[in-house]
Amino acid sequence: MLDLHSIILSLSYFGIFILMIINGAINIPSSQILYLIVGYFVATGKLSFLPAMIFGSVGNAIGNFIIYSLVYKYGKQIATKYLYVKEETLTKLHKEFEGKGLWFLYI
């Protein structure tokens, strides 16, 4: 099992960065849990808020870009096989995105 507390404590901001890349790509571990642990370390003074936020955000964006690139290159099959997303869900999201455009991402 992943000991997130130890990883973040020992690797500091780099640990946050790596965990958020993994989270962005495969959604494990949950970003809410990661930020809760990071928030604890910020509150206790072991980490600073701004670097933690930057490393977490950039890591998550890179993870999202990785999965986006893979799905773009290899198609929906990779999402249904490795991310356990149903084909129907992808089709529904695609239709919503086509109908509402870029603003759909912010709703």
pLDDT tens digits, 46-80: 999 999 999 999 999 998 888 888 888 888 788 77
Distance of CA 57 to the CA centre of its chain: 9
Q: What is the pLDDT of residue 107?
A: 55
Asked if the model's pLDDT at residue 41 lies above 80, the reply is: yes
62: CB partners within 8 A, 6+ apart: 21, 24
| Rounded distance between C-alpha atoms, residue 73 and residue 85, angstroms | 17
Mark out the alpha helices in 1-107 (DSSP H runs): 4-26, 31-43, 49-74, 76-82, 87-100
Asked if the model's pLDDT at residue 1 lies above 60, the reply is: no
pTM attached to this predicted model? 0.76
